[in-house]
Amino acid sequence: MGKRANNDNRITGARLIKDALGWHIAFRVQTLHARPEPHQGAEVGIDAGVNLPLALSDGNHFDHGRPSRLANGTADRDKWLKSEEKVKLLRLEQRAAHRKSFRKPLERTSNRLRKTYDQIKQLRATATRRAVDWQHKATAEIAGQYGTVVVEQLNITNMVTSARGTIENPGKNVAQKAGLNRSISQEAWGRTVTMLTYKLVQRGGALHKVSARNTSLRCSACGIITPGSRKDQATFECENADCGWSGNADHNAARNVLQLYRMGHVLIPAAGRAVARRTRGVKPAAAR
């Protein structure tokens, strides 16, 4: 006979899920945890990028080892797949397009075409699972090492807006922007922040957000924005004659993120601002 279950931990529900990789059962579990001791780790700022996924203000970084660009310079939309899987995916997509070309309007999807679509979904789901696994491992290591983590408040929706434009005002560098948008979407920065948030709380740490404005353009050494300092994607050389600091551009941005937090420029979540407004609007009992 097994050990008696702890009454503080219990299963409160379950759900059967089917995705491209098969059937899964997800349990909803209620657990009680003692409040953790305050995290004794250091403060760190993080800059999220495409070429360097997570650059830290102390010079460390987390890289999944999967380049966002192919040899010809185009964005790698399937970087989480192995070489043979990419070949298979391309072959399946070509097969699906070929079979779809023979499909008549309002005609039901054939079993062969549906099977091809299912195979494509399986490869896509495999890539997503690998990305999530890397994010879990990276965020767990960060949350275990650092007590205060500061990130940029990024508006992903605006960042991945198409550059196509309109007929009257067509956009520029549309293909390059589309490739960048795919790379940003694959990095799933919002999911990384969500993981960091709850993992830090579990360990007694905290996550804070600051404005992303000019963090990649400002020199983290002198604090001045000098045109021409951002040489390329990876290089920052301050053009301020009184400074001249140089280093990795992503680490420079991460240092700026941490400095904004230390200067008190922390963004208050929308719910927090609402609570603050309501609190300021309530008069003390003695004054009523």
Instruction: Identify the pLDDT of residue 243.
Output: 94
Residue position matching structure tokens 């520029």: 172
Decide if pLDDT at 182 tops 90.
no
Helix (H, G, I), strand (E, B) or coil at 29: strand
Q: Please check whether residue 185 is in contact with residue 160, taking contact to mean a CB–CB distance below 8 angstroms.
A: yes
pLDDT category at 104 given cuts 50, 70, 90 is confident
> Taking all residues of the chain, what is their mean pLDDT, rounded to a whole number?
83
Instruction: Identify the pLDDT of residue 51.
Output: 79
Average pLDDT over residues 42-71: 86
Largest CA distance in the chain: 79
Residues β-bridged to residue 54: 48, 62
More confident residue, 229 or 172: 229
pTM for this structure? 0.79
Exposure class string for 191-228: b at 16+ Cβ within 10 A, else e: ebbebbbebbbebebebbbbebeebbbbbbbeeeebee
Q: How is residue 188 written in tokens?
A: 């799933």
Instruction: Identify the pLDDT of residue 284.
Output: 44
